[in-house]
Structure 1
């Protein structure tokens, strides 16, 4: 099935549905293959039984309407703020409270332990806070010098 032929929309209940060749609407859940390294590529559309009904090679290959429906659904299910700057850290021992700037605005998070900082595809990091929110640092080397210095104390 070509990317342009994949039709996605939301039904009356707000569920993402895949419209098959027969015109039937199938509720689906989008599953990213590589959510950090390639978030707009390789997305499986999976039904409630876990069967893959369609494969999206690249989001930009979909029609504008289907792309918007898919992006809206993913945004509603995924919440992963991107850390842009570390303003302060309460202590270099854990637990510690971090004041940070993210792509969604300034906030604070509590780091329980160094094990809550996971290294991803270099140079990305994923930091889980005490509330279970995952924060992403796409490129730790691109942070400002003070942010890098504070982060290095925990790595």
Structure 2
């Protein structure tokens, strides 16, 4: 069994599936990129996994890749990952949980139910991860940069 490492190329085939050509020139159809730290360091530590679930290649930093491969992987992650960014808290139904939140995100306004205060997770450096009752996650990149009204609402739950 070979150790995951470098590869020759990464591209899409005619069916839109990712294809990795390893150092030995072997073509691996339908590979899947996986982030090691999708929230805390999304551009560092990427693994390319084969259809058998084994790692075929490791990429230290997305930014180190040639532009074409970097854009290919970013497009792949964008089509799979859905984590709206919170821009503003419009309102909450009550200051106890469960409560219905209305927020403005980078994808539009939405509502969700916050079951408990523990569903607001601190990630450090002012970043928060908020999980709705349906398991949808919202990222708040900097709680200190929110408008005054949003900060006031959020402080009641932290």
Distance 1:74 1:6, change over 3 A: farther
Give the aligned partner of residue 139 of structure 1: 142
Q: CA RMSD in A?
A: 1.9
Give the aligned partner of residue 27 of structure 2: 24
Aligned length: 153
Counterparts of 1:115 and 1:124, CA distance in 2: 15
Q: TM-score, normalised by structure 1?
A: 0.87
- Flag as ranges the 4+ runs of structure 1 deviating above 4 A: none
Is 2:10 the counterpart of 1:8? yes
Unmatched 5+ stretches in structure 1: none
1:38-93 deviation digits (Å, cap 9, x = unpaired):
21121111123332211112222222221121111111111001111111111112
Q: TM-score, normalised by structure 2?
A: 0.86
User: Secondary structure, in 3 states, of the residue corresponding to 1:141?
Assistant: helix
1:27: Cα distance to partner?
A: 2.5
What are the residue-to-residue correspondences of 1:4-153 with 2, within 5 Å? 6-21=8-23, 22-153=25-156
Unmatched 5+ stretches in structure 2: none
